[in-house]
Amino acid sequence: MRVTIKTIAEKCGVAPITVSRVIAQSQNVSEKTRNMVLKAIYELGYWQKDIEAPVLSDSPQIAALMVEDITQNSRYILQSAADYLKANGCLSIICETGLKARNLQEYVSTMSNIHSVKGAIVISSRGSRVELAKIAEEYPNFPIVATHWCSAWSKVDSVILDSYHSAVCAVDYLVAHGHQHIALLNSPKESSGAYEEREGYLDTMRKHGLEADEKYILPTDLHRSDGAKLIHKIMRTMPEVTAVLTANLEMAQGMLPELKNMGKRVPEDISVIPFTIDNAADGMHNFTTVGANYLDAGIAAAQILMERMREQTQPNKPIKTVKKVVLEPQVFEGGTVLDLSQHA
């Protein structure tokens, strides 16, 4: 099993953010806790290699962290990436690229011309998927790492969620809790993970001998309004459905007020599981989710960027091959799944 920050936190009996602070060499951790966490890190083999020495030269180095808007969700990725970068001698600046990442190219163009800015982490989403590969090709000497969502992962250094196994995890979990009729609000065809989500869902339904009907797979644009609209359709035309998987948290959140207006309760009348990069300790919601941890995503992106920045300083730069980290999914239990096996 892959060792994650959550694994280390559970072993030490601390919160995941505490492990992140130790990794980032933050002063806001007691010496006793720091030593305990560091011991667990090395015992469990969390690092592929030792934490590398700072890369600062005489002039400061800066990384740009680019995001459409600073939501509570993206803040965890930004913070863990910034902490890791700072611990390795690199400062960070945050750029809001605007709705649908309309200012992404302008920011990359500007930052790439500032000598002290050595690269960028882009928390990509709907707006930046299509153009990100093109931008990366246009600025080959300005390292860009995409995290969270990226349809161009084969062309851009990326940290992505294993969408196939996220669907497998979710369906396995629901079936274990007695659900047999499960709907999937799928990512749009052009997006990262859409095909993998669909195939993971279908394969796992078949594995359990359940009906794997295409009618239960509903395409979306990943907007909150999709969740609101499609839950009406599901409740009206598919009354047998007891659980819904959504390709992101936003759509799941869009369902809740609509279900309330219909007099339906979660999870008593319908169970809901979104796929997401999550932070189990944030207390923001009570969803049962399937995904990876925000802290792991931010640190993985920062590690790739640091490697690229070091390569830029080498006299004979190695041939660039795309780096990719695929985050292993897990279930974060909340309060949005009813155990039907206990209510039979």
Task: Using a cut of 0.85, tell me whether the model's pTM lies above it.
Answer: no
Hey, what CATH topology would domain 163-288+332-342 get? Rossmann fold (3.40.50)
Angle at 332 between CA 252 and CA 247, to 5 degrees: 35
The percent of residues above 70 in pLDDT, for the chain, comes to 84
Q: 20 falls in which pLDDT band (50, 70, 90)? A: confident
Mean pLDDT of 284-304: 84
What residue ranges of the chain are covered by domains with CATH 1.10.260.40?
1-51
Give the model's pLDDT for residue 217. Answer: 97
Give the model's pLDDT for residue 307. Answer: 92
Give the model's pLDDT for residue 286. Answer: 83
Residues 119-147 as b or e (16 or more Cβ within 10 Å = b): bbbbbbbbbbbebbbebbeebeebbbbbb
The answer, yes or no, to whether residue 76 has pLDDT greater than 90, is no
Q: 344 falls in which pLDDT band (50, 70, 90)? A: low
Give the model's pLDDT for residue 73. Answer: 63
| 313 vs 166 pLDDT, higher one | 166
Give the model's pLDDT for residue 48. Answer: 40
The percent of residues above 90 in pLDDT, for the chain, comes to 43
Average pLDDT, the chain: 84
DSSP assignments along 227-241, one per residue: HHHHHHHHHHH-TT-
What residue ranges of the chain are covered by domains with CATH 3.40.50.2300?
58-161+292-330, 163-288+332-342
**Residues 204-224 pLDDT 10s:** 999 999 999 999 999 998 889
Q: 34 falls in which pLDDT band (50, 70, 90)? A: confident
Hey, what CATH topology would domain 1-51 get? 434 Repressor (Amino-terminal Domain) (1.10.260)
**Residues 136-173 pLDDT 10s:** 889 988 999 988 655 556 688 988 888 899 999 999 99
Contact 193, 160 (CB under 8 A): yes
Sheet order of strands, 243-246 included: 217-219, 182-186, 243-246, 271-278, 289-293, 330-332
Reported CATH class of domain 58-161+292-330: alpha beta
Give the model's pLDDT for residue 214. Answer: 92
Mean pLDDT of 71-85: 81
**Residues 85-121 pLDDT 10s:** 988 889 999 998 887 678 888 999 999 999 899 999 9
